[in-house]
Amino acid sequence: MRIFVHGSQDYLVRRKVEELKKAFQAKFDSSGMNLVELPSSKGGLSLPEAANAIKTAPFLAEKRMVVLSGLLGLKKADAEEWVELLTEVPDDIIVVMVDGVSVAKAAKHHLFKTIGRKDDPIYAFDALQPAQLSAWATRLAQHLEMKISPALLREVIAMVGSDLSQLRLELHKLASYADGEEVIKEMVTELVHVNFDDAMFALMDAIGAGQKSRALSLLQQQRLFGTGDGQLFGMLLRQVRLLLAARLAIDENPMVTKAALAKTLSSHPFVAQKTLGQAKKMTTEHLIELHKQALSDDRAWKTGGMNETIAVDRLVAGFLMI
């Protein structure tokens, strides 16, 4: 028997694997002697080692479970070596193939297409849609007996993003700190780790690639998560400044390194690397004009001369040149 568990939502993938392991132990082997977990060949597992684990008969039990991680991340040539082994799995062996690749990528993988059968259980977990994420967070908050308003919970989601592991951690932190009292905005501001960079990088990557529909969809997603337009404008304005500084650095030295740029921007090297790649796709003239527009609109909405939503939409349109 083969079971596939994969998806980009790491928390749900890991939780499903734990459920499968517990169910196996409850039904077939409470001692755990017939449960084997092995990494992928990418992590050092040899094919003979995996073959030995799969072909070894269960010890004093009906079934044996072998968990293999990372096979759908292998290139076609490497994956081909596993086809024969995973096609003929003995009836008393349960092979669980765990991968952190997206559902779409898994469906196209050579190994999945070659050995997958219609009756193989498949558990696929990609990022939740805004409504699903909100429902998940609401259920967790109720489980933790948190007193938190729907509006404030949406703000937490907007700050953390769609990483369920991180969102779970932040909600547990708030629940522990509040200790049965009402969660207030000051607690959220003080305790919750903001993860806006991921959302902004995704938006800027879409803009840089000319993916207008995706960029507008990501913008709308942030609004659905509860991110205010004032907050969004601040994020975009900061990004314009970073990109302009990076573009000017490139103009001065086309071979500028991420380390040097990180020092110039006073940012983490990872942020500098992402910004460098995005700045190379934009012209200095475009970024200067965009910066002027952003500063003008910033003054306008702060003095009541422009709606925040319009200011955000104008800045995104400026990035996309639409």
12: CB partners within 8 A, 6+ apart: 125, 164
pLDDT of residue 69: 85
Tell me the C-alpha distance between 307 and 305, whole Å.
Answer: 7
Q: Tell me the average pLDDT across 175-201.
A: 80
The C-alpha angle with vertex 120 and arms to 116 and 121, in degrees rounded to 5, equals: 130
Residue 103 domain boundaries: 2-124
Domain count for the chain: 3
**pTM, two decimal places:** 0.56
Contact 183, 148 (CB under 8 A): yes
Tell me the C-alpha distance between 235 and 1, whole Å.
Answer: 49
Residue 13, judged by CB atoms within 10 A of its CB (0-12, 13-18, 19+), counts as: buried
Residues 200 and 249 in one domain: yes
Residues 221 and 293 in one domain: yes
Residues 107 and 139 in one domain: no
Residues 99 and 31 in one domain: yes
Q: Tell me the average pLDDT across 272-301.
A: 90
Only one residue has tokens 């908050």, namely: 141
Tell me the C-alpha distance between 110 and 228, whole Å.
Answer: 43
Q: Which residue has the higher pLDDT, 39 or 83?
A: 83
Tell me the C-alpha distance between 301 and 307, whole Å.
Answer: 6
Residues 243 and 308 in one domain: yes
**pLDDT at residue 285 tops 80:** yes
Within 13 A of 119's CA, how many CA atoms are on the CB side?
1
Domain boundary among 191, 215, 231: 191
Domain boundary among 167, 191, 215: 191
**pLDDT at residue 41 tops 50:** no
Task: Name beta bridge partners: 102.
Answer: none
Residue pLDDT, tens place only, 99-143: 888 888 888 888 888 887 777 899 988 877 778 888 999 999 999
Write the CATH number for 179. Answer: 1.10.8.60
Most confident among 92-96, 106-110, 183-187 (mean pLDDT): 92-96
Confidence label for 75 from pLDDT (cuts 50, 70 and 90): confident
